[in-house]
Amino acid sequence: MNKYDDIINVNYPFLLKHPRMSITSRAGQFAPFAALTGYSDVIREEGRLTSSKLDMMEDEFVYLDRKLQILRDNIDKKYTITFNYFVKDNLKEGGKYISIKGVVKKIDDYKGLIKLFSGEEIIIDNIIDIMNDELFSDYV
């Protein structure tokens, strides 16, 4: 026999002004409380590394400009070209270097863009290298 057996199943003797709370609602009051909601996302974002855009040397710039001119002259031949270029990060300072392959649809010198048939647009000033062994082997 337990100490409280005589009162454990007895109904509350007074009328209640408010209806009793369900067991699920009562349990919800004791659920963990996240005082710093979103803090882990902020920490993760701060820890994400970005790179700085590298400055090109004068001879590298001349070499790249020569490759761009060769590409302009041969755009109608629809070579598959690999571009290495810098993409600015939208959330923090810096960005990353990526590589993409595609066929050039248009070189827009006015807007400073290279448009690929895939729909990608590459900012010419962010390009660090243009590669295609077949196209550039005779010229460079």
> Would residue 98 count as lying in a domain?
yes
Alpha helix (H) residue ranges in 1-140: 23-28, 39-47, 58-73, 133-136
* pLDDT, tens digit, 9 for 90 and up, residues 45-72: 777 788 888 888 899 999 999 999 999 9
Q: Rounded to two decimals, what is the model's pTM?
A: 0.66
127: CATH: 2.30.30
Distance separating alpha carbons of residues 121 and 13, to the nearest angstrom: 76
Question: Strands 127-131 and 80-88, how do they pair?
Answer: antiparallel
> Would residue 33 count as lying in a domain?
no
Residues of the domain holding 128 = 58-136
> Would residue 83 count as lying in a domain?
yes
> Would residue 75 count as lying in a domain?
yes
* pLDDT, tens digit, 9 for 90 and up, residues 77-108: 999 999 999 999 888 888 999 999 999 999 99
What is the structure's pLDDT at 131? 92
What's the number of domains the chain is made of?
1
> Would residue 41 count as lying in a domain?
no
> Would residue 62 count as lying in a domain?
yes
